[in-house]
Amino acid sequence: MPRDNLILGVTGNIASGKSTIAGGFAQLGAALLDADQLARDVVAPDSPVLQQLVEKFGSHILQPDGQLDRDRLGAIIFADPAARQELNRIMHPAIGQLAVERLQQLKHKPEIPLIVYEAPLLFEAGAEGRVDKVLVVKIDPLVQLHRLMQRDNIDEKAAQQKINAQMPQEEKLARADYVIDNSGTVEEALEQVDKLWAKLVE
């Protein structure tokens, strides 16, 4: 009886380096499914989800070519918790359905050693049920603040606002099966990926 592939959910807060860690697993041979990419797929031009967003937030969230203007929408939802809840209410079910379909396709492929589902809002979306184990990417709060300011070219106040809009890191760590600390260098983080890979796959 062939065993189903293990699905590892990778999550963590903004600027913690989730993509670096998920990419490390992909380089070792894992199949990678990225919730951010799924979120882009479900709001393709003329999709039902995009039409719901336009009805809710107005047509100014569209670019001239009919694509979603993610920056405009982001500015609305980061400043307004109620708008953020509304966005999640529209997006999460659609992303969830697509994620389940794609994960099921990957789960039964014997040539795949591990499936990594990179989902920044894994806990917030109540999506832990889609994965077998959860890895939280941890980061020192000061390092996080500086990385975010640098990455998004924003000041400390704006960066702190983005951080405060998320579930506290401690809460995520308390619910993790595995933790990788990405406060140091990329090399140090990828060493931890190698160790966990050996544990999960070999």
Q: Which stretches does DSSP call E strand in 120-166?
A: 133-138
Cα–Cα distance, 202 to 200 (Å, whole number): 6
Q: What confidence score (pLDDT) does residue 25 get?
A: 98
Q: What confidence score (pLDDT) does residue 4 get?
A: 77
Question: The tokens of 35 are what?
Answer: 């919730």
The tens-digit pLDDT sequence of the chain (202 residues) is 456 789 999 999 999 999 999 999 999 999 999 998 999 999 999 999 999 999 999 999 999 999 999 999 998 988 898 999 999 899 989 999 999 999 999 988 888 999 999 999 999 888 999 999 999 999 999 999 999 999 999 999 999 999 998 999 999 999 999 999 999 999 999 999 999 999 999 7
Element (H, E) at 12: strand 7-12
Q: What confidence score (pLDDT) does residue 2 get?
A: 54
Q: What confidence score (pLDDT) does residue 1 get?
A: 42
Residue 151 to residues 73, 98, 147: CA-CA distances in angstroms?
Answer: 19, 29, 6
pTM for the model stands at: 0.85
> Is residue 61 within 8 Å of residue 54, measured between CB atoms?
yes
Q: What confidence score (pLDDT) does residue 3 get?
A: 64
Q: What confidence score (pLDDT) does residue 108 get?
A: 84
Phi and psi at residue 88, in whole multiples of 5°?
A: -65, -40
With the C-alpha atoms ordered 29, 9, 85, 101, is the resulting torsion angle positive or negative? Answer: positive
